[in-house]
Amino acid sequence: MAYSGPDNGTNAGCDSGPADQALRFTRNAGHMGAGFTCGIALDFSNLLSGIQEPSFMTINGIREIDDGNYGRVEVYNTGTSSIDQMVKIRQDYDSDEVGVFEVQIPSKYLNAYPLSGVDDMPYSSMFKKWDGFVSRYAKIQGSGTTATVVDLSTGNFVVSGGMQKTSDAPENDNSGLMMTEFSIPWVHTTGSFTFDAPAVVQGAPYFLEVVSARLDSDYKLDFEIKDAATDQLLVGGELPTFNFDMGTTTKRLFRISSNFTSGRMVINVVVRSGQDDGLYISPFLVVRPTQEFMPPTPVPTPVPTPVPPPTPALPTCSTKVVKIPKRLAEKFGVQPCAMET
């Protein structure tokens, strides 16, 4: 992790944050801010070499108290010698409140290289200008044997109703997201979008990981996930109202049952009031297989094998014994011995 500021490559320009507020977040999070001079260099080329595309990085943290935020990915454009905003997450606020955030950064912005002579831009790609705490742990996610990335960022989904497919989901009174070169599904009122997702194979369900944020939250909305071909309801629920101006993102794991067989999924959003509330969905969804709980099979207690009683040992003959008739030896179980001659 590298930072901008007076001493590039050091922690200058960033600070630890007020102690009382640092305790509000876990994992010893780093503080960004200090006049927006603090940034994280997105120099992770060495980690991308073994990641299967599509892939992205997740950065998360918590917003500063009493602060609106406009965290962004800035990229140096060598053609125009300008600094372009490629990803921007926006969060509104109310008095004395904080909010969590999570931003997905496409892998094309994770190949930063050092710059020189560019104000506040020591690297060619940086996450900057977030005012708050950022977790010290970020995750790079790609497809593989344990997860599959469903990439909506290329616009490979069909919208209907009030659902939109643009690069900018405008913040109404809570949260917003802009991804200049990519597509985002978002809706103000009521709408749906349809996309390809892995069909359930051999009845094995999976979890669908979805990151979203409310554009506004003055009214409740209904949220559904269905099989687009059969109209089978897979997930259904209500997203409640909460304090206005409280910008926050949420990661949810939806269990997709064995009823999903077509490979074509639809997400429906219905704002009951008809007002401009709604939400945006970050464009990278993740499919994670799950193994249903099966109680362990009881191990039967082994039955001991009967052991036959030992055969009595027969007496050893001495060299000086009296000869016993054979019929008496057999009757009393003794060894007939030859008499010494």
Domain with residue 154: its CATH number is: 2.60.120.200
pLDDT value at position 89?
Answer: 92
Residues 165 and 287 in one domain: yes
Alpha carbons 204 and 208: distance in angstroms, whole number? 13
| Counted domains in the chain | 2
Global confidence as pTM: 0.77
The type of residue at 221 is L
Cα–Cα dist 104/106, whole Å: 6
In this predicted structure, what is the pLDDT of residue 168? 96
Q: Are residues 181 and 285 in the same domain?
A: yes
Residue 251: predicted pLDDT = 92
Amino acid letter at 93?
Y
DSSP string, 136-188: S--EEEEESSS-EEEE-TT--SEEEET-EEESEE--SSSEEEEETTS-EEEES
Domain boundary pick from 123, 143, 163 = 143
Give yes or no: residues 137 and 5 share one domain: yes
pLDDT means per 10 residues, the chain with 341 residues, are: 35 49 47 65 90 94 77 93 94 75 95 87 89 84 91 97 95 89 94 95 88 86 95 92 75 93 95 79 93 63 79 57 62 55 41
Res 37: pLDDT? 60
Does 334 reside within a domain?
A: no
Which residue, 166, 43, 147, 156, is CA-closest to 105? 43
CA-wise closest residue to 128 among 185, 51, 76, 184: 76
Q: Are residues 137 and 162 in the same domain?
A: no
Locate 314 and state its tokens.
Answer: 């027969």
Rounded Cα gap, residues 284 and 60, in angstroms: 15
Beta-carbon contacts of 193 under 8 Å, excluding residues fewer than 6 positions away, are 157, 158, 159, 160, 163, 165, 185, 266, 267
Q: Is residue 21 part of a domain?
A: yes
- Of 275, 291, 307, which one is at a domain's C-terminal end? 291
Q: Are residues 162 and 120 in the same domain?
A: no
Shared domain check, 185 and 95 = no
Say how far apart CA 284 and CA 206 lie, in whole Å.
16
| 166 within a domain of the structure (yes/no) | yes
Whether residue 260 sits in one domain with residue 194: yes
Same domain for 139 and 32: yes
Does residue 315 form part of some domain? no
The three-point CA angle 213-215-217 to 5° equals 90
Task: Evaluate whether residue 223 is within a structural domain.
Answer: yes
- In-domain check, residue 186: yes
2 and 130 both lie in a single domain: yes
Query: Is residue 151 located within the same domain as residue 224?
Result: yes
Residue 224 and residue 235 in one domain: yes
Distance CA 5, CA 13 (A): 4
Mapped onto helix, strand or coil, the DSSP state of residue 61 is: strand
Residue 307 within any structural domain of the chain: no
Domain span including residue 69: 1-143
- Given 143, 160, 183, the domain boundary residue is 143
Contact 94, 65 (CB under 8 A): no
73 is written with which tokens?
């990915």
Determine the pLDDT at residue 277: 81
71 forms bridges with which residues in the sheet? 89
Both 92 and 176 in one domain: the answer is: no
Is there a domain that residue 272 lies in? yes
